[in-house]
Structure formats: C-alpha cells, structure tokens
A and B are shown apart, each in its own frame.
Chain A
Amino acid sequence: NAGVTQTPKFQVLKTGQSMTLQCAQDMNHEYMSWYRQDPGMGLRLIHYSVGAGITDQGEVPNGYNVSRSTTEDFPLRLLSAAPSQTSVYFCASSSASGGAYNEQFFGPGTRLTVL
C-alpha cells in the first residue's frame, strides 16, 4: 500500500492564483482531513470528510474548498491564494471501523509559498 500520497511536494504561487492540492489514499478509509501546519500554531483542521459526497468545515476553512467524489481522493482547492496561506499542508485519513476514531495516517505534506 502507498498509504496517503500528496502532490505536489512544493509549490510557489503568486497572490490571486488558484491551485489544487491533491490527496489520495489506498486504505479504503472513510475519514479524510486537510490540515495546515504553521510555526507555533500546531496542526489546524481546514476541512474534513466522513465519506464520499460528505464534507464539512474545520477550524480554518476560509479560502479553501474541498470535494469528495470518491473514497480515495480528497483534493483541496485554493480559490485565490493569499500570502497568509503560506504553510505546510497535510492530508490525513483514518478508518471509522469499530466505532472508534482511530489513528490518522498522514501524507508527506505540500509546502506552499504564496508571494
């Protein structure tokens, strides 16, 4: 299993540009989440999904859109990039089997710089 994969690894954008961060998992996990990690702030939840066709907002959703058309994929879209969105983005997935919110499996991250 590849686990959770993310592309690209690095990206530089200009203010106002849009882009999509890709995330895929091959573990058939129901739950998928997007986090951003900034120095001194810890991981903050942007959006999450509990299954195909179901998404919800996390702690810092503004400026980001998500969709979940398949179990495997959970792309994150930046609508109009701003310097405040410079961060490292992590995608994570987990299984809800047994009724417990189990461990999350994280991807390697995308380092985004907005100029």
Chain B
Amino acid sequence: SQKIEQNSEALNIQEGKTATLTCNYTNYSPAYLQWYRQDPGRGPVFLLLIRENEKEKRKERLKVTFDTTLKQSLFHITASQPADSATYLCALERSGGYQKVTFGTGTKLQVIP
C-alpha cells in the first residue's frame, strides 16, 4: 500500500544550525511534492513545491531536494531560528486527473535559543 513516512519524533536543534527533515514514500509515483508548515491550532501553510523532474528547490533559508530513485525528499532550514519551531508536513500529489494529495503525519521541529 502507499505510504508516506516522516520522522514522528520531534527534532530539537540549536539556533543557527541547519535543520534537516526527511520525507520517505513507498509504492507511490508522485508528480509533485510539497512542504507545509503548521503551527499549533492553525491550518497548514504552503512553503515549497518541487516537481518530479527537479532535484532541488530553494526559497530564502529553505531548501528542498527530491530523489525519485531513493523515494525521498529532504527539507532543510539553514540558520534556524526559534520562530522556525513548528510542525512540518510533506505532501505528495499524483499527476493527471483530479487533485488528490496525500499528507505525511509531520515532524515537529523545536529550535532552541
């Protein structure tokens, strides 16, 4: 069956370091992979989208990689700040047809001052 895995354990890092979050998937051929940020009590907020034919995408301090051979995406936050503390969700979307997106369970990031 199709499965998306994100590290369910919280990730604690020191301010200023690079945070790296992982999204692995199996039995899936996504056309797009998206990363969202979710703060407690709020809806997810879109951060980045990467397509299957793209290896890397950057936006300010954020970087996403997409390896369709390894079936893995890595999400990096450089020079992390306490304000980056949140839960980060990855979402995979198939191509063609109607919009159907599958979300991972998310990884909680805590940046320690």
Q: Chain A: residues with CB nearer than 8 A to chain B?
A: 4, 31, 33, 35, 40-45, 48, 50, 56, 58-59, 90, 92, 94, 96, 100-109
Q: List residues of chain A with CB within 8 A of the CB of B8.
A: 40
A42 near B98 with CB under 8 A, answer no
- Please, could you name 16 A-B residue pairs with CB atoms under 8 Å apart, sorted by A? A35-B103, A40-B8, A40-B105, A42-B89, A42-B106, A43-B103, A48-B98, A48-B100, A90-B44, A94-B99, A101-B93, A103-B34, A104-B34, A104-B101, A106-B43, A108-B43
Complex CA gap A58/B101 in Å reads 9
Total residues of chain B contacting the partner, CB 8 A? 23
| Residues in chain B near residue A4, CB distance under 8 A | 43
Contact in complex: B99, A96 (CB < 8 Å) = yes
Q: Identify whether the interface residues of A are mostly helix, strand, loop, or mixed.
A: strand
In this assembly, does B45 line the interface, its C-beta being within 8 Å of a C-beta of chain A?
Answer: yes
**Contacts A40-B8, A42-B106: A106 and B45 contacting too (C-beta < 8 A)?**
yes
Give the CA-CA distance A56 to B102 in the complex, in Å: 15
Q: Which residues of A contact B103 (CB under 8 A)?
A: 35, 42-44
For residue A105, which residues in chain B have a CB less than 8 angstroms away from its CB?
46
Establish whether residues B44 and A106, one from each chain, have CB atoms under 8 Å apart when the complex forms. yes
B49 interfacial by beta-carbon distance below 8 Å: yes
Q: Which residues of A contact B42 (CB under 8 A)?
A: 108-109
